[in-house]
Structure 1
Amino acid sequence: MSKRPVIAVAGLACETSTFSPAVTLAPAFHPKRGDEIVERYEFLHANQPLGQEVEWKGALIGHALPGGIVTREAFETLSQEIVDRLQDIVAKDAVDGLWFDIHGAMCVQELDDVEAELLRRVRAVIGPDVIVSASMDLHGNVSRELAHQCDLITCYRMAPHEDAMDTKERACRNLVNILKGREPGKRPLKAWIPVPILLPGEQTSTRIEPAKHIYAAVPEVEAEEGVLDAAIWVGYAWADEPRNRAAVVVTGWDEKAVSQGAEKLARLFWDARADFRFVAPTGSFAECLDAAVKSSPAERPYFISDSGDNPTAGGAGDVTWGLTRLLERPEFKAPDSGFTVIYASVPGPRAIDTAVAAGVGATVTVTAGADVDDIHAPPLTMTGRVHSIKHGDRDAVTEVVLQVGSVYAILTKLRKPYHKEKDFTDLNLAPRAVDIVIVKIGYLEPELYDMAKGWMLGLTPGGVDQNLKRLGHHRIRRPMWPFDEDFEKMPELKTVWINKSTEPLTGPDI
């Protein structure tokens, strides 16, 4: 019986806004090591096909909640541990492949294109001949160097990312198939096409056109004879690096099919550039609140996205601007005002301590927010009744609901995204029964989307402001849509063949 291939697993993932004053430290990555990695992914378990065909060796993976730039110290600490653990694996086994488990929009102090830098360090350990397959978020960035260091590279095909696990499994399946079936020394062809478009995810959701039909074409290209995988990256709009832009990569064995598929997808994206719209009706925060107040019972719960401080896009999460504006509204001043409103959320460690000490039912005056991002609003002081307390959340650690007038404001020790109904019901809140739910989010995640009867996207300030032009990008490549709408020369959108991973990268970085 032939020996099963050995595949190592490593990677760091954090979507980071360079426009947020927050920083991300090493503990935020919640690193998993060794067998913990295999345990994390069910499709790698011993009772699954991939688990039976391959011996999986976990090095280290870390997935941080999106946030501010990663400190150099954090990156160096975690990347060195990845290198050390891979050295231990290589010393015991001949490694055939590597699954590079990343997001693709991580920014590190004093470094650019950090996923490519991490993979360079990994390659120095595993060697140039090991086949590397990367899985990414479609909001990641694919530089020419990252494509060069990989043999296979793929990303999500849905936004919201309901296919995240499917994508990771596909990356592993493609890798295993190559290890089992390729001719010795043969590596897939890689067609890479950068597309000079940089848009927020809220304008490129695959729920709506034009992203819907653009991404529908991806599996069609993948189905062509001689194509292994096809992928389109929207890119990450809230970081300011030269690599940040849309991109297409198609991999396979047939040069004509791979090239034609890549160019088809790139043209589809470019030709639709002026058609992208926000995924929901938009307005200022005041306009959103006005619409919610005027909504009919059939439109409730009415959801409002406080999008500028979305912690799952990289916002600091502690901007108080939205909650301050909400509590100023006369409609919500009294507990019996006729409206019930949930607001999620604002971190306030000291506020949490005060509320916990006082207990449920107590009336407290607390100050929360703006410990990290005080650019847009100062800390907020409010007086209210402690409605509920919950300990032990993975992200928030401790949560408190404070009733101020008819507003139920969720305060947290550390920032947390609120994406699921259980996030609310665990706090003795009933989001389906209230009038208005305001969440720091962009497009609504599936459970919230299904719950909402009405919805507006608030164009609010923060580190992930939807108005990209007022953020101040100065390092992205120009021209870039929509920063530039008049192109003197249209992009060619022709296949750029990426050298084999065993060869030095040559030619200009386009």
Structure 2
Amino acid sequence: MSLRKGHEMTKPRVALLGAILESNRFAPPAELDDFQSLTLLTGDALMSEARSETPKLATEFAAFVRAMDATGDWTPVPCMLAASHPAGPVREAVIEEVIGTCEATLRACGSLDAVYICNHGAMVAEHDHDPDGLLMARVRDVVGPDVLIVSTLDLHANISQRMVDACDLIVGYRTNPHVDQIERGEEAAFSIRRALASGERPKLAHIKLPLVPASVTLLSAEHPYGSLIDFGQRRQAEYRSQILNVSVFGNFLFSDTPDNGLSIVVSARDDQKVAEALASELATKAWSLREDFVRQLTSLEDAVALAKAGDRRPVIFSDAGDNPGGGGSGRTTELLSALYRAGAKDCLYGSFCDPELARDAHATGVGGRFVAHFNRTRNASAPWAQWDVPFEAEAEVVSLHNGEVVGEEGMTAGRRLILGPSAALRIGGITVVVITDRTQTADPVFFNAFGLDIAAARTVVVKSRGHFRAGFSPWFSSEQVFEVDTGGLTSPVHDRWPFQHLPRPNYPMDENTVWSRADLH
């Protein structure tokens, strides 16, 4: 069915909503408080924040609003945007409240021309493996078949057929680290404008492969994932106007769902067969690269030895097993204590999430000394308790901060971050940044806010899996980056986890997994 034409003569009515959560099946559940602490906005408050100079909500959502504002009159219908830092499965009552609020607003708002859904795509709920698809399907049920639905998703999304069936266009990030959210939000807005003006209904094709790579292999500037994304973009350009979007979703391993697996989603302007042909070509290309989606990590012993080595370039370590951006606690001490015991010098370490320790530092004051108790209080029954080992060291308070900062580089550039009371502590030759809010250290502002000189450090350690690469690229090339094999809820080693829901067989867990283009028919 074609969309109604003539929207250029009137102001299109576009609903805006979203639920953003990357779920690590093994992390503690996402509660209502987790959304309230990051983003839980409706109505005018949502639009006001999206239009602010330094919005603290999802970058692509704000970019969508700015692009719609810049391209003509429109009537926004803001429903709700809910976002949490990565956590475990969302509570059933929480996601049902979010979906219910969106449904109620959509029912009450009258006629609509389009809906923009800003989700992550790798959410898990207590009662549903695919709450992203659940939200999208229920939005479709309310607005009916004739209203255009466009969604933006993180490239780590676990794409379900329910998502594809509910949407007219799906726009995935192309970069990891994620530095193209502005472009993707703009693309969603321009796509809505174009479709409403032309009356054309996009056609989607989706293929999922039995390929479940870990996030450390999904860097868009490196082979194989970057090669696959680049190949898709070249082929889209060769199809010219026939193809609207090509997205390659790498999946999020730790969600542990039946929808895990690398997915190809192709959107054609109006020809389903064209979309299917290109999706098939890209899937075949991806499968041919499957053996390249395996990566070796740097051992803890080798990392410590490198930190102590004298004649070398500065390096940056990823504490890969404890990435708050993938559901990690931000409190594991394995790498920190090893570096301290080894006497590492000129080392910056960020960021340790410990509200109690941050309060102790503020009570002590700049220049004061005290015994820093890392993980003084912990829940012994928590999923991450085995890694959140207590650690003590004599500390000097180097600097204090209220934790309100604006990102400077990479994925959080220009975005307001609320880290809570924070401190920089010197323990031996290591300066540790301690924060209150559980957030990955993907931006140099985590050090710069305390007056710490990244360029003067010989070793920088970040609790981040991959996004730090964009934020710290002015100091460290890819050859200076080392992903350390540490324990924690984001350890990217497949055989360490009791997966229960991943589709089997899959590669690399099952080396003899077979797939061919013939499987599509």
Once the two structures are TM-superposed, the CA of residue 469 in structure 1 deviates from its matched residue by 1.8
Q: Is the 8 A contact 1:17 1:313 kept in 2?
A: yes
1:465 aligns with 2:497: no
SS of alignment partner, residue 149 of structure 2: strand
Report the 3-state secondary structure (helix = DSSP H, G, I; strand = E; otherwise coil) of the residue aligned with 1:67. Answer: coil
- Indicate whether 1:30 and 2:39 are aligned: yes
1:151, CA displacement in angstroms?
A: 1.1
Displacement, 1:64? 2.1
State whether residues 54 and 176 of structure 1, in contact with CA within 8 Å, keep that contact through their aligned partners in structure 2: no
* 1:137-184 Cα distance to aligned partner (Å, 9 max, x none): 11001111111111111201111111112112212221221121125x
Contact 2:63/2:183 (<8 A) preserved: no
CA distance in 1, matches of 2:481, 2:63: 35
The answer to whether residue 465 in structure 2 is matched with residue 446 in structure 1 is no
CA distance in 1, matches of 2:262, 2:280: 13
- The code of the aligned residue for 2:76 comes to W
Query: What percentage of residue pairs aligned between the two structures are identical?
Result: 24
Query: Which stretch has the larger CA shift, 229-238 or 369-378?
Result: 369-378
Match for 1:404: what amino acid? I
Alpha-carbon distance in structure 2 between the residues aligned to 1:442 and 1:456: 10
Query: Structure 1 CA distance, aligned partners of 2:299 and 2:178?
Result: 27
User: Which of 278, 285, 288 does residue 300 from structure 2 map onto?
Assistant: 285
Gapped regions of structure 1 (runs ≥ 5): 333-338, 497-510
- Would you say the 8 A contact 1:159–1:207 is kept in 2? yes
1:505 — aligned with what?
A: none
- Are 1:69 and 1:109, in contact at CA under 8 Å, matched by a contact in 2? yes
Kindly indicate whether the alpha-carbon contact (under 8 Å) linking 1:22 and 1:316 is maintained by their aligned counterparts in 2: no
The alignment status of 1:44 with 2:69, answered yes or no, reads no
Matches within 5 A, 1:409-488: 409-443=432-466, 444-452=468-476, 454-487=480-513
Deviation per residue, 1:244-271 (Å, 9 max, x gap)? 1111111221233212211111111111
Unmatched 5+ stretches in structure 2:
1-7, 56-61, 405-416
RMSD: 2.2
Paired residue type of 1:379: P
**Aligned residue type for 1:289:** V
Corresponding residue to 2:117 among 78, 100, 103: 100
Given the superposition, is the C-alpha separation of residues 327 and 230 from structure 1 closer, same or farther in structure 2, using an over 3 Å criterion? same
> TM-score, normalised to structure 2's length?
0.86
Whole-Å separation in 1 of the counterparts to 2:99 and 2:265? 26
1:72-221 equivalent positions in 2, closer than 5 A:
72-90=92-110, 94-182=111-199, 187-221=201-235
Choose from 14, 17, 37 the match for 2:24. Answer: 17
Shift in Å at residue 42 of structure 1?
4.2
SS of the residue corresponding to residue 376 of structure 1 reads coil
> In 1, distance between residues paired with 2:464 and 2:79?
33
The Cα shift of 1:68 comes to: 2.6
Q: Structure 2 matches for 1:216-255, cutoff 5 A? A: 216-223=230-237, 224=239, 225-252=241-268, 253-255=270-272
1:360 equivalenced with 2:376 (yes/no): no
Matched residue type, 1:346? F
Paired AA for residue 359 in structure 1: G
| Larger mean Cα displacement after TM superposition, 74-83 or 143-152 | 74-83
Say yes or no: does 1:490 pair with 2:515: yes
Give the TM-score normalised by structure 1. Answer: 0.88
> For 1:374, what is the secondary structure of its paired residue?
coil
Amino acid at match of 2:395: G
Cα pair 2:63 2:185 within 8 Å, conserved:
no
Contact 2:30-2:84 at 8 Å conserved across structures: no
**Which shows bigger deviation, 151-160 or 250-259?**
250-259
Residue 407 of structure 2: aligned partner: none
Cα distance change on mapping 1:172 and 1:43 into 2, 3 Å: closer
**Matching residue of 2:425:** 402
For 2:517, the aligned partner's letter is E
CA distance in 2, matches of 1:205, 1:57: 36
Counterpart AA for 2:331? D
Any idea what SS the aligned residue of 1:408 has?
A: strand
Cα distance in 1 for residues equivalent to 2:292 and 2:401: 44
What SS is found at the alignment partner of 2:451?
Answer: coil
Give yes or no for contact 2:155–2:172 (8 Å, CA) kept in 1.
Answer: yes
Partner of 1:380: 391
Report the residue type matching 2:22 in the other structure: E
The number of equivalent residue pairs is 477
Matched, 1:257 2:269: no
Q: Could you say if the C-alpha distance between residues 461 and 222 of structure 1 is closer, same or farther in structure 2, counting changes exceeding 3 Å?
A: same
Conserved 8 A contact 1:343-1:410: yes
Secondary structure in 1 matching 2:125: coil
1:65 maps to a residue whose letter is H
Secondary structure, in 3 states, of the residue corresponding to 1:312? helix
Alpha-carbon offset, residue 17 of structure 1: 0.8
1:17–1:314: 8 Å Cα contact kept in structure 2?
A: yes
Give the direction of change, closer, same or farther, for the CA distance of 1:118–1:292 in structure 2 (3 Å limit). Answer: same
The equivalent residue for 2:414 is none
- Secondary structure of the residue that 1:69 maps to in structure 2? coil
Cα–Cα, structure 1 residues 307 and 486, in superposed 2: closer, same or farther, change >3 Å? same
Kept in 2, the 8 Å contact 1:401–1:411? The answer is yes
CA distance in 1, matches of 2:441, 2:193: 36
Q: 2:332 aligns with which of 319, 328, 332?
A: 319
Summarize the Cα distance change of 1:494–1:474 in structure 2 as closer, same or farther, 3 Å threshold.
Answer: same
AA aligned to 1:261 is L
The alpha-carbon distance between structure 1 residues 464 and 47, as it changes in their structure 2 partners (threshold 3 A), is closer
Could you tell which deviates more after superposition, 197-206 or 375-384?
375-384
Deviation at 1:43, TM superposition (A): 4.8
Alpha-carbon displacement from aligned partner over 1:52-105 (angstroms, at most 9, x marks no partner): 153322211123222233222322332222223333323xxx101101111101
Query: For the residues of structure 2 that align with 1:69 and 1:15, how far apart are their CA atoms?
Result: 9
Counterparts of 1:368 and 1:73 in 2: how far apart (Å)? Answer: 34
